[in-house]
Amino acid sequence: MTRVWKWNRPVTVREVLEDLQQERSIAYTTVMTVLDNLHQKGWVRREAEGRAYRYEAVSTRAAYAAALMNDAWSQSDNPAAALVAFFGMMSEEQRQALRDAVRIVQGPEQTREAPEGRPEAPRQVAGQQEPPEARQEENPGSAEDGAGR
């Protein structure tokens, strides 16, 4: 799956084989069998192209990782304790990624409390534009607010 996800496009057995052979010796039939097994398990879909197939991932690697985390969490008899333990294992970079993800899920209307008790605007996440109305609220006296001040 790593090779199929890496390319993020339909791939042939030959392409996967050639990529794997850069690291180790492997037989064409081995790669073909693995891709066929992945197809039978529903991990990849395939489309005939001449006498061969092109294989494409059914799900993204991120969706797969999320499903694994959800499955592990749902098996806990104390989900809150499992989350606390998991967060304790995270690096600061991972915790920041989690905070960014929560802000994305909550949307731009959600705010959080600053330490002094005032609402704090959510930070902008890389790749996302801040909505124009949020910028205008930060500068209520600007000429852009239509008041002409």
pLDDT in tens, 26-60: 999 999 999 999 999 999 999 999 999 999 999 99
pTM (two decimals): 0.56
Helix (H) or strand (E) holding 133: helix 132-138
Q: What is the mean pLDDT of the chain?
A: 79
Rounded-to-integer distance, Cα 110 and Cα 28, Å: 52
Residue with tokens 């600061």: 92
pLDDT band, very low/low/confident/very high, at 113 (cuts 50, 70, 90): low
Q: What angle do CA 28, 22, 9 make, to 5 degrees?
A: 70
User: Is the CB of residue 1 less than 8 Å from the CB of residue 43?
Assistant: yes
Give pLDDT, residue 116. Answer: 52
Alpha helices by DSSP H, 75-116: 79-89, 92-106
> Is 102 in a helix, a strand, or coil?
helix
pLDDT over 70 (residue 143): no
User: Is the CB of residue 142 less than 8 Å from the CB of residue 136?
Assistant: yes
